[in-house]
Amino acid sequence: MVISSPAKQFLQGKKLNKIEQNKAFKDGLDVGDELENFAQLGWEQVDKTDLELRLKWYGMFWRPKTPGKFMLRLRIPNGVLNSHQIKVVASIVGRYGEDGSCDITTRQNLQLRGVLLSDLPEILKRLEEAGLNTIQSGFDNPRNVTGNPLAGIDPLEIVDTRPYTTELQNFLTNQGKGNHEFSNLPRKWNTAVAGARDNFLLHNDIIFHPVEHDGVMGFGVWLGGILSSQMNDYALPLNAWVKPNEICRLTGTILTLWRDNGERNNRPKGRFRMYLDSVGIEAFRTMVVEKFGPLTPDPGSVFEDKPRSFYGIHPQKQTGLHYAGMHVPVGRLNAEDLQDLASASLNYGSGEIRLTEDQNIILVGLSTTNLDKFQADPLLQRFPLEPGSIAAGTVSCTGNTYCSFALTNTKDQAMAMAHELDAELILPEEIKVHWTGCPNSCGQAYMGAIGLTGTKARAPNGGQGMVEAYDLSLEGRQGPDAQIGTLHRKGIPGSELKDVLRELLIERFGAQPRSQPKQNS
Ligand code: SRM
Ligand code: SF4
């Protein structure tokens, strides 16, 4: 086995699965010099492994469902976008007509659809000019760094997470140029920084949670959150506290330990959490200390408050300014939507938008004098400030329109279900319903009060063959009494799902049938 670069000596002597062999033979970042050539050749002529694997290091995902029309995943640390960036994304998506669209992802990020390989070099250039990036956003790389969506405007914030999410992104990606130190990890790596007591991010591989020690603000460190087909669990405390200027070095230390020692043969066992469990958190802490130096014990970083709902208009910490939480049904936007949102952010706010992990948006910097005009804008019919309780908490992964792992059409079904159930039921509060099209759990099913994981089941009522179905989990929670959901029922055929959900919502979540079904607009 030829190992491509001296930096990859950590692979020497290890048993490598097929994917690892391909990564070792040629690093994903190495296709960077070939993008112009690929664009000219066309996808049919590009080496299959470069096309289907290595292009992901540049955010470009081959879609077997739509051959030749790629998905392009950006990196948007902390989910902060300005109106110019939104317009650039709109114009990229817009050129692909019906094929072009954009999804807000469960990592506070955007993915563009319909992208042609011939356009990639020019698109990357335009994104870079706008201060956006796609580098190492997929596969065995450090993913988009998430933070408090209200960073810098949050009346309840402990620290503004933006400088830290940006610093971490720059560290992990070598200022967006691509970082060979972390371009060949055993699997993906998720980083997050909390900024307020209710920022719940324990599903990430590393979480920095703000807490003071001896009057100095720093971060408690939590490790090993995972949602996957193999296991679902929240992060464990490392019992370590670091100063803000140490977060990158600590992340680098931990990443290097896992990169060098993690599983490279049995791919499902390659995730950081499996490595952490195999070593044990205490022993791992000792390994970190050996490389990093002494660690201060965590003075008590805990996730104290239940996550807030962002919907509606709320005061910012800046007097006279407000933010507006708007619902984007299952996070899907087209070019016109993006243009309209960019215009609204300029007309009413400071020209900035935030993306949330729940696949919604927050408009920032609305002055009191603009609120009436804003509330009368027809845009709010598309992206309401007060969606129904079920729509409000609905999160969905991509599903079978574009994802070849998907066993179900999550986004369309999630949207239709929320619409119908909100029309029939009144709930006392917003409820988290997380839909995911397969056990990979991109839609974070086990974090939801109700989690729906796509599967196949026998057709009901003696029908022929297999049909789309869902495994249903319950009682996933974020906040102080956090817990991962537990499986409640397996294989509910799609045609029976609505009745099952309706009954559960009434019995367990205090839903009341409306006397007259609500007329949804
Ligand atoms: Fe994911 C793979 C979509 C967040 C766990 N994920 C995929 C792929 C790339 C599979 C593929 O090639 O088709 C999906 C692309 C479909 C498409 O065309 O859009 C995909 N994942 C997504 C997104 C878009 C879901 C969404 O609709 O929001 C999210 C993109 C985030 C981003 O911007 O970077 C997304 N994926 C997640 C999350 C949630 C999170 O990060 O908080 C998880 C669970 C958390 C975790 O990783 O622990 C997640 N995705 C996976 C896995 C399972 C990993 C595992 O260890 O088993 C896979 C499969 C894999 O990696 O082999 C996967
Ligand atoms: Fe695709 Fe499965 Fe992820 Fe949904 S959960 S986007 S179906 S890989």
Return the bridge partners of 223, or none.
Answer: 206, 236
Of 63, 69, 73, 75, the active-site residue reads 73
pTM: 0.97
State the number of CA atoms in the 13 A half-sphere of 495 facing the CB. 8
* H helix runs in 310-425, sequence order: 335-348, 371-375, 379-382, 389-392, 410-424
List pocket residues of ligand 2, CB cut-off 6 Å. Answer: 397-399, 403, 405-406, 436-438, 440-443
3-state SS assignment for residue 313: strand
3-state SS assignment for residue 365: strand
CA distance 359 to 105: 6
**pLDDT per residue of the chain (521 residues) written in tens, 0 to 9:** 445 554 578 999 999 999 999 999 999 999 999 999 999 999 999 999 999 999 999 999 999 999 999 999 999 999 999 999 999 999 999 999 999 999 999 999 999 999 999 999 999 999 999 999 999 999 999 999 999 999 999 999 999 999 999 999 999 999 999 999 999 999 999 999 999 999 999 999 999 999 999 999 999 999 999 999 999 999 999 999 999 999 999 999 999 999 999 999 999 999 999 999 999 999 999 999 999 999 999 999 888 899 999 999 999 999 999 999 999 999 999 999 999 999 999 999 999 999 999 999 999 999 999 999 999 999 999 999 999 999 999 999 999 999 999 999 999 999 999 999 999 999 999 999 999 999 999 999 999 999 999 999 999 988 899 999 999 999 999 999 999 999 999 999 999 999 999 999 999 999 999 986 665 54
Of 8, 95, 126, 188, the active-site residue reads 188
CA distance 21 to 15: 9
Active site residue 100: no
Active site residue 442: yes
CA distance 112 to 104: 9
Cα–ligand 1 centroid distance for 248 (angstroms): 24
Q: Which residue has the tokens 């042609």?
A: 116
> Is CATH 3.20.20.10 correct for 392-513?
no
Please provide residue 71's backbone torsions phi and psi, each rounded to the nearest 5 degrees. -100, 135
Q: Which-ligand-closest: CA of 444? A: 1
Cα–ligand 1 centroid distance for 472 (angstroms): 19
The architecture (CATH level 2) of 1-135+310-387 comes to Alpha-Beta Complex (3.90)
CA distance 81 to 500: 39
**N residues, the chain:** 521
Return the bridge partners of 322, or none.
Answer: 366
3-state SS assignment for residue 309: coil
Write the DSSP string, 150-212.
TTTT-TTBSS--HHHHHHHHHHHHTTTT--GGGSS-SS-B-EEE--BTT---TTSSEEEEEEE
Return the bridge partners of 326, or none.
Answer: 361
Whether ipTM exceeds 0.85 = yes
Of 143, 187, 197, 259, the active-site residue reads 187
Please report, for residues 236, 469, 477, the alpha-carbon distance to residue 497 in angstroms, rounded to integers and kept in the order given.
34, 8, 22
Q: Which residue has the tokens 């200390």?
A: 289
**23: which 2 tokens?**
């990564």
CA distance 169 to 75: 9
3-state SS assignment for residue 434: strand
CB 520 within 8 A of CB 416: no
Q: Which-ligand-closest: CA of 405? A: 2
Is 136 touching ligand 1 by the criterion CB < 6 Å? Answer: no
State the number of CA atoms in the 13 A half-sphere of 475 facing the CB. 7
In the chain, where the domains are located? 1-135+310-387, 392-513
Write the DSSP string, 119-147.
GHHHHHHHHHHTT-B-TT-SSSSB-PPB-
Torsion of CA 142, 267, 34, 124, to 10 degrees: -30
Cα–ligand 2 centroid distance for 217 (angstroms): 38
Name the residue of 203, 232, 436 whose CB sits within 8 Å of the most ligand 2 atoms, as the mutation to test its pocket: 436
